[in-house]
A = this chain, B = another copy of it.
Amino acid sequence: MPLPRVTVWNEYRHELQNPQVREIYPDGIHSTLAAALRAAGLEVATATLDEPEHGLSAERLAQTDVLVWWGHIAHQEVSDAVADRVQARVLEGMGLVVLHSGHFSKIFRRLMGTGCDLKWREGGDRERLWVVAPGHPIAQGLGEYIELEREEMYGEPFDVPPPETLVFVSWFSGGEVFRSGGCYTRGHGRIFYFRPGHETLPTYHHPQIQQVIVNAVRWAAPTPGAARAFGNRLPLEEIRPSE
C-alpha cells in the first residue's frame, strides 16, 4: 500500500503574534509536525489559515490522505465552504487527526454533532497520558504512559460522543482526568482526536508525542473500501407477496 500523503493544517496566528510561541515554533507548529512526519517517511504538505482557501483547495484535499488539524483563536474564520469540503472528504475516506484546541474547530464540531466543550486551565499542570488500549496501532512503540512536564489542563466532561476506541486517558497534577485520545468513524473516514499541544509549550517537539501523531496518521490513512453507493435501487430478488 502506498504511504499516506499528509497535509498538516495550522491556524498559524499565535506564532506570528506571540514571541513566546515563535521561539518554540519558529516556522510554525505545522513545520514542526511536518518535519516529524517526514522523518517517519511520509509525504507531507502544509497549509495555513491565511493562504487562499486556507490552503485547502479542492485539488489539495483530493491529494490528501490524512489531514492533521491545529487551530485555536480563529476557528470562526475558517469559511463554511472549506469546512464543507473537508467534511465531505472525510466522509469519502480522508483521515483526520485533530490536535488539542482543535476540539473547538468548525470541522470537529460538525463531525461530532456536539459542543465539544471541556474544562481547562493554563499555567502548567504536569500531565501523564496513560495508554488504556496498549495493543492499539496508535499506541505502537510507547511505554505505559507519556509524561509531559507542563501542559494546559483539559478536564472532563468532554462533550463529544463516546469514542469508538479510547486509547489514552490523561492524569493532571491539579486533580483532573481527560479522555485524551479517541477514535471515531464518519463515513469512510477515520478520525483521531489527540489532546496535548498548547502553543506556549514545546509539546510537539516531544519524541513520543510525535510518535503518536505518526501512528495516528498511519492508522487514519484510508483503505480502498466499497463504493459509497446510495439512492434508488431495483430489487436483487424477485419480490412475491407472502402466502
Contacts and interface: CB of A to CB of B under 8 A. Distances in A.
Contacts of A112: 113
Contact of A235 (B121, B134, B222, B230): B121
A91 interface: yes
A159 interface: yes
Interface stretch (A32-40, A62-70, A160-168): A160-168
A128 interface: yes
A66 to B, nearest CB: 13
A141 B222 CA distance: 12
A131 interface: yes
What is the copy number of this chain in the assembly? 4
Contacts of A135: 93, 185, 187-190, 222-223, 225
Interface stretch (A41-49, A150-158, A196-204): A150-158
A137 B118 CA distance: 21
Contacts of A237: 173-175, 242
Interface in A131-154: 131-137, 139-144, 149, 153
Contacts of A114: 91, 111, 186-187
A120 to B, nearest CB: 6
Interface residues of A, number: 82
Interface stretch (A3-11, A22-30, A176-184): A176-184
Contacts of A142: 225-226
Nearest to A128: B175
Name the residue in A87, A175, A223 with the highest tally of chain B Cβ atoms < 10 Å from its Cβ. Answer: A175
A42 to B, nearest CB: 15
A170 interface: yes
State the 7 A-B residue pairs at the shortest beta-carbon distance, nearest first.
A174-B235, A175-B236, A135-B188, A134-B226, A117-B230, A175-B237, A111-B113
13 contacts: A114-B186, A130-B176, A131-B157, A131-B225, A132-B177, A134-B225, A134-B228, A143-B227, A144-B226, A159-B230, A161-B186, A169-B169, A175-B235
